[in-house]
Amino acid sequence: MKTPDAFETARLWLSDSFATPVPAGQPSRFPVSFRYGDRESAALLGGWSVRRTAGPAEPGVTHETLTLTDPETGLECRCEIAAYADFPAVEWVVYFKNTGAADTPILADIQPLDADFVVGQGTFPRLHHAKGSSCQLDDFSPQVTWLRPGLNFALTTDTGRSSTRHLPFFNVEGESAGVICAVGWTGNWTASFLRPRQGDTVRVRAGMERTHLRLHPGEEIRTPRILLLFWEGDRVRSHNTWRRLILAHHTPRPLQRTVESAPPPDGDLRQIERLPISDGAWGERTEASHLEKIRWLKDNAMPASCFWIDAGWYGERTYDATRDTFGPEWAMHVGSWTPIKGAYPRGLKPVGDAARAAGLEFLLWFEPERAYEGTALTREHPEWLLGPVKSTWLPGNNYLVNLGIPEARRFLTDQISALIAEFGITWYRQDFNVTPTPFWQGADAADRVGMTEIGHITGLYAFWDELLARHPGLLIDNCAGGGQRIDLEMISRSVPLWRSDVQCYGGFDPIVMQTQAQGLAPWVPLSVGVTQQDTTYAYRSALGAGLIVGWSGRAVEEGVDLPLDEIRRLAAEYVAVRKYLYGDFYPLASCSLADDAWAAWQYDRPDLGEGMVLAFRRQRSPFARLEAHLGGLDPLAEYDLISHDGGPTRRLTGQALMTDGFTVEIAEQPGSALFVYKRVA
């Protein structure tokens, strides 16, 4: 019997799982579970009415809505399902609505994913996942957990920020096949993996961490989005299929090329390399100083493409030139979004105008969900706020703006939208430096556990969607204390330009950039690196879909005599290879923070027949050579392997590059090597 391929597996799984629920008492494959009153959903759904409707037409995607309704109470469970023609993937979001005339019984333990996946008998399936970002050197480092029989393992975040502890992406690997899953929820989520002592399956459950609520008449809630990609064969290749899926269907629209037809089956990326080289500046400076930095960038022909103003530009206070990044003032004035007196007498519009005139995009920092005690929002609209909660790192109290209140969301949308238009902002940078869980839990009644979080998170999505609708072409940078809100919903609307707050501290080792890149790449195709050193090793360590530098601040404010010709050379090298960073990713060495190890990986663009290899010999590595075995090439084709470090060009077959590999030699400690390969016509 022919083993079904991944597309057939996805099709069969979809048809079986979302088939009309079978009668009560028989096994159900319905992949959504919950408790309603005192009964489990599996025992209830067979008696609920079923309605199927086709969804909106979209190239390459089939949409369907499956609605199940309880005839006794009027509770409606609506599953909005998407199936992809170009990827073996299935996606859905579940909504619950009370269509009855009275409050519902308690709806609890909602799991939008609750399913068994076949992993094979007699094997130890592996769960591949990654750490989140908590301002640690090992942020995003890859993890592997063996799912041995009898193990019940869980991933979670309890901070209210979706990627603080773990990334909400994981890959269950069985016998030469598996499934990658994303949990699209920007609050508290959990995923559990149960391997029975007998059998060939792993049970995967995922959803919000806590739900125990009743719905009022007419009230509706949504659950986390679930995206599954089925695969067979090579696990590394499965992650590359995942990268292509995310780039094609879950990337902010301004970053996608407009095409007349659906993407072809080979997953051609059709991607605009628009993520910027950003020259950053602290916000508590003056209009004059920012204008001088922009002039310096233009006069010196620096290859920056975006001028970045970070926190500190706002507040009901007077400018103080002595305050810097590490003082508390910037964090104590969120909630008063007016430029500080004495620094910006004309607002930020002159800076935005100057950036545009210099051919630069303009990025500006905001933190609209948090309000500190005494700021304008806490005085004028206390009815919109949750809290107070004593700050763990500031002397006073924080409040959370409850985006579940429509009036609060409209107010913030209008306020921020007006500033985007007035200042000429092209990149809206949103930070989030508070743990929201205590605010949400403090506001929930005993029979409404989870409601405040649901309202806030769905309000956050509505807030961003409205900003994007009002400002076509606007791009959003998702910071959240440095990489703590990276999930499927957020990367569909934004890009993490600032992966982790580890790089807030000057002099960080470029190894941090290497491990962040290698840890994020299998799950999140678009992220940005930072360099604070003007060396080849540091720049190459920071290679990402975008790049953050600090040229103008060091030159204009600190008076540093920068090696401009060398910087231009390094930036030109980055621009030349940037297109490869949107391709497939192949790790060529294990991910490690050890300073006596090597790091190496490959980016491949099969649509171009080109790619690059990047290798790093760290400062204490005793080895001067690495054998690099590439992936994804045409074994019968020939490729020119071109060194960016002065070595000879070599012509090798794809088979030789993959099977025999080639030797990378680096004499320096630390040192790097960069190769580009191109298929010979």
Of the three residues 567, 582, 597, the one that is the final residue of a domain is: 582
Look at residue 24 and tell me whether its pLDDT is greater than 80: no
Q: What is the DSSP string of 273-333?
A: ----EEEEE-SSS-HHHHHHHHHHHHHTT----EEEE-S-SBSSSB--TT--TTSSGGGG-
In whole angstroms, what is the distance from residue 640 CA to residue 141 CA? Answer: 33
Looking at the structure, tell me whether residues 341 and 416 fall in a common domain: yes
Number of domains in the chain: 3
Flag whether 154 is in a domain.
yes
β-partners of residue 193 are 153, 204
Flag whether 483 is in a domain.
no
In whole angstroms, what is the distance from residue 23 CA to residue 217 CA? Answer: 28
In whole angstroms, what is the distance from residue 227 CA to residue 231 CA? Answer: 13
Mean pLDDT throughout 78-92?
97
Flag whether 344 is in a domain.
yes
Flag whether 481 is in a domain.
no
Mean pLDDT of the chain: 93
Question: Phi and psi (nearest 5°) for 216?
Answer: -75, 160
Of the three residues 582, 603, 635, the one that is the final residue of a domain is: 582
Residue 587: per-residue pLDDT:
98
pLDDT digits (tens, 9 = 90+) for 548-557: 999 999 999 9
What six digits make up the tokens of 621?
């590595």
Flag whether 44 is in a domain.
yes
Residue 25: per-residue pLDDT:
56
Look at residue 257 and tell me whether its pLDDT is greater than 80: no
Looking at the structure, tell me whether residues 13 and 54 fall in a common domain: yes
Of 620 and 647, more confident: 620
Looking at the structure, tell me whether residues 555 and 606 fall in a common domain: no
Question: Phi and psi (nearest 5°) for 553?
Answer: -65, -45
What six digits make up the tokens of 70?
């309880």
Looking at the structure, tell me whether residues 68 and 108 fall in a common domain: yes
Looking at the structure, tell me whether residues 110 and 154 fall in a common domain: yes
Looking at the structure, tell me whether residues 109 and 235 fall in a common domain: yes
Residue 660: per-residue pLDDT:
97
Look at residue 1 and tell me whether its pLDDT is greater than 50: no
Mean pLDDT throughout 142-146?
97
In whole angstroms, what is the distance from residue 176 CA to residue 119 CA? Answer: 9
Question: Phi and psi (nearest 5°) for 401?
Answer: -75, 120
Of 324 and 619, more confident: 619
Structural domain of residue 185, as residue ranges? Answer: 6-251
Flag whether 126 is in a domain.
yes
Which band of pLDDT confidence, cut at 50, 70 and 90, is reported for residue 256? low
Mean pLDDT throughout 340-359?
96
Q: To the nearest whole percent, how much of the chain has pLDDT over 90?
A: 89
4 prior amide bond cis, ω within 30: no
In whole angstroms, what is the distance from residue 426 CA to residue 447 CA? Answer: 43
Residue 363: per-residue pLDDT:
98
Flag whether 135 is in a domain.
yes
Looking at the structure, tell me whether residues 578 and 593 fall in a common domain: no
Looking at the structure, tell me whether residues 112 and 211 fall in a common domain: yes
Mean pLDDT throughout 56-82?
95
CATH label of the domain that carries residue 663: 2.60.40.1180
Looking at the structure, tell me whether residues 360 and 287 fall in a common domain: yes
362 and 354 Cβ atoms separated by less than 8 Å: no
57 and 79 Cβ atoms separated by less than 8 Å: no
389 and 397 Cβ atoms separated by less than 8 Å: yes
Look at residue 515 and tell me whether its pLDDT is greater than 60: yes
Mean pLDDT throughout 64-91?
97
DSSP 8-class letter at 456: H
CATH label of the domain that carries residue 198: 2.70.98.60
Of the three residues 582, 602, 636, the one that is the final residue of a domain is: 582
Flag whether 526 is in a domain.
no
In whole angstroms, what is the distance from residue 582 CA to residue 562 CA? Answer: 30
Looking at the structure, tell me whether residues 50 and 117 fall in a common domain: yes
Looking at the structure, tell me whether residues 207 and 294 fall in a common domain: no
Alpha helices in 131-282 (DSSP H): 235-249
Residue 56: per-residue pLDDT:
86
Looking at the structure, tell me whether residues 240 and 336 fall in a common domain: no
What six digits make up the tokens of 598?
């090597």
Which band of pLDDT confidence, cut at 50, 70 and 90, is reported for residue 322? confident
In whole angstroms, what is the distance from residue 320 CA to residue 311 CA? Answer: 14
Mean pLDDT throughout 84-94?
97
Which band of pLDDT confidence, cut at 50, 70 and 90, is reported for residue 22? low
CA distances from 452 to 160, 188, 368 (A): 12, 12, 17
Look at residue 20 and tell me whether its pLDDT is greater than 90: no
CATH label of the domain that carries residue 555: 3.20.20.70
Look at residue 270 and tell me whether its pLDDT is greater than 50: no
Strand order in the sheet with 448-449: 39-40, 33-36, 107-111, 212-213, 448-449
Mean pLDDT throughout 55-60?
86
Closest to 305 measured CA to CA, from 386, 361, 349, 253: 361
49 and 69 Cβ atoms separated by less than 8 Å: yes
Q: How many helices (H) and strands (E) does the chain have?
A: 15, 37
Of 6 and 260, more confident: 6
Q: To the nearest whole percent, how much of the chain has pLDDT over 70?
A: 95
Determine which helix (DSSP H) or strand (DSSP E) holds 6, and give its type and residue range.
Answer: helix 6-17
Which band of pLDDT confidence, cut at 50, 70 and 90, is reported for residue 70? very high
Residue 169: per-residue pLDDT:
98
